[in-house]
Amino acid sequence: MHSIFILGRQPAIGRAELESLFGAEHIQPLGEQAVISDIDPATVDFARIGSSIKLAEQLSVITKPSMSSLHTQLDRVVMERAKAIAEGKIQLGISAYGIKTSPKQLIAIGLNLKKSLRKAGFSVRLTPNQETELSSAQVLHNHLVGDRGMELVLIRHGADIIVGRTVAIQDITAYAKRDQGRPKRDAFVGMLPPKLAQTIINLGTGETPADAQTIILDPFCGTGVVLQEALLMGYGAYGTDLETRMIDYSTKNLAWLREKYGVEEPEALEVGDATNHHWTHSTSVVACETYLGHPLANWPRPDKLQQIIGTCNVIIEKFMRNIADQIPAGTRLCLAVPAWKAPSGKISHLPLLDHLEKMGYNRVSFRHSSEQELVYYRPDQIVARELLVITRK
């Protein structure tokens, strides 16, 4: 059984995350928006993957279909799947990726499938398409996953169409609870989304199995989002921060997490300046969002931008040189470092990225994503997060 991953808003980051978790040889891109893997979907812990929005099981490959033959072949696939569904009304929906179609055409396909299923004695409710892709909220609200759910995902792969059935969906409600429900938040230090924290951890840990003996160090822990997600994923966690207030916030947030989710306590939380701190507890992986500089509402003057870049570069380089002397060769790090996106789309990077080897690091390369693509940002953001994946030489 093959898995299909539908990727999020920045697919290159999703491909790198999956490659990090499963290995490049086990995944294959399907156009821009999806990845297929020989990993059995039943073995995938989808709740820990931050940059994929849907997980599907492959049902069929339709070879060089026309729109008319697509109807016939989908009838066969759906009928086979319907026989395995629990008794009750089937919740049917369709999403298309990389296929030249329209919501109207997908609704027509859905109505034909509904008609065939009803003729065979099944009760069916169709979720109509407003777009060619049903959103996570639509899939959850319309119960398209679960015993009686059947969201079909149709994905163009060359001249063929791969058909899958969604078996898991990104739980946007759970993410919101973990983000907005925490007792301590601080907009000034930045709001790291929990799903991005998961991706940072996965890029840092790679294929390392999750266990409490694998300690994730966050030297810029802030309010504790990375530590929170590491604990929920089954890792140990060790956090430090320059500010006493942030350690207090992390302490309160992780106490809340233990009460709500029953996770273990962190290995340690301590005040420490990452540029000169000595970490006394064992560390397996470093995963963090570093200093991003001041938030920017407007694109700054060139001299101001260079000043901001220079300040961030000095702090982060000092940190990287400091920790390089304290971690063994081969230790892997994923650092979310700042980058700046101009209105033209041009990205300004930290100068230190050109001198990683001199600082004692090798950059990890990915087969299915380039280094330049691993920059996380929202459309209206100036300060972006560049995901720097490196190992200690």
Q: What is the pLDDT of residues 20-32, one digit of tens each?
A: 999 999 999 999 9
d(CA 352, CA 321): 11
Is residue 64 predicted with pLDDT exceeding 90?
no
One-letter amino acid of 322: N
Other CB atoms within 10 Å distance of the CB of residue 69: 12
List all residues 6 or more positions away from 281 whose beta carbon is below 8 Å from its beta carbon: 215, 238, 267, 268
> Do residues 208 and 326 share a domain?
yes
Strand-strand pairing, 149-157 and 160-169:
antiparallel
Gap between the Cα atoms of 239 and 221, Å rounded: 5
Percent of the chain at pLDDT exceeding 70 = 98
Task: Work out the pLDDT band at 190, boundaries 50, 70, 90.
Answer: low
pLDDT of residue 316: 98
**Does the structure show a pLDDT above 80 at 142?**
yes
**Residue 78 in this model has a pLDDT that exceeds 70:** yes
Mean pLDDT of 131-139: 95
Are 8 and 153 contained in the same domain? Answer: yes
Average pLDDT value for residue range 159-165:
95
* Exposure string for 167-178, b = 16+ CB within 10 A, e = fewer: bbbbeeeebeeb
Same domain, 217 and 148: no
Of 343, 182, 158, give the one whose Cα is nearest residue 252.
Answer: 182
Last residue of a domain, one of 145, 170, 195: 170
Q: Mean pLDDT over all residues of the chain?
A: 94
Q: Which residues contact 66 (CB under 8 A, 6 or more apart)?
A: none
Distance CA 266, CA 377 (A): 29
Residue that terminates a domain, selected from 170, 204, 227: 170
C-alpha 336/C-alpha 377 separation (Å) is: 11
Confidence bin at 191 (pLDDT 50/70/90): confident
pLDDT category, 207, cuts 50, 70, 90? Answer: confident
Is residue 76 located within the same domain as residue 141? yes
Question: Any idea what the CATH number is for the domain that residue 195 is in?
Answer: 3.40.50.150
Same domain, 24 and 105: yes
pTM of the model: 0.96
As a whole number of angstroms, the distance between CA 349 and CA 71 comes to: 49
- Do 184 and 148 reside in the same domain of the chain? no
Asked if 272 and 226 sit in the same domain, the reply is: yes
pLDDT tens digit string along 288-318? 999 999 889 899 999 999 999 999 999 999 9
Count of structural domains, the chain: 2
Among 32-46, 176-190, 193-207, 350-364, whose mean pLDDT is lowest? 176-190
pLDDT score, position 88: 84
**110, 137, 170 — which closes off a domain?**
170
Query: 208 and 150 in one domain?
Result: no
362 has a pLDDT exceeding 90: yes
Over its C-alpha atoms, the chain yields an Rg (Å, rounded) of 23
- 190 and 114 in one domain? no
Q: How far is CA 121 from CA 115, 125, 140, 329, in A?
A: 10, 13, 25, 63
Segment 333-340 mean pLDDT = 98
Tell me which of 185-199, 236-250, 261-275, 329-343 is least confident.
Answer: 185-199
In a shared domain, residues 127 and 267: no
Predicted confidence at residue 209, as pLDDT, reads: 84
Residues 218 and 94 placed together within one structural domain of the fold: no
pLDDT level of residue 189 (50, 70, 90 thresholds): low
CATH of the domain at 126: 3.30.2130.30
pLDDT recorded at residue 239: 98
Residue ranges of alpha helices (H) inside the chain are 11-22, 67-82, 103-119, 136-141, 172-180, 194-205, 225-232, 244-261, 302-324
Q: CA-to-CA distance for 37 and 21, rounded, in angstroms?
A: 11
Considering the domain architecture, whether residues 339 and 279 belong to the same structural domain is answered as yes
Q: Provide the residue range defining the domain that includes 164.
A: 3-170
Q: Give me the mean pLDDT over the 99-115 stretch.
A: 94
Is it the case that residue 375 has pLDDT exceeding 70? yes
Angstrom distance (rounded) from CA 234 to CA 211: 5
pLDDT for position 164: 97
Asked if 386 and 336 count as a contact pair (C-beta separation under 8 A), the reply is yes
Buried/exposed code over 190-214 (b: 16+ C-beta within 10 A; e: otherwise): bebebbbbbbbbbbbbbeeebeeeb
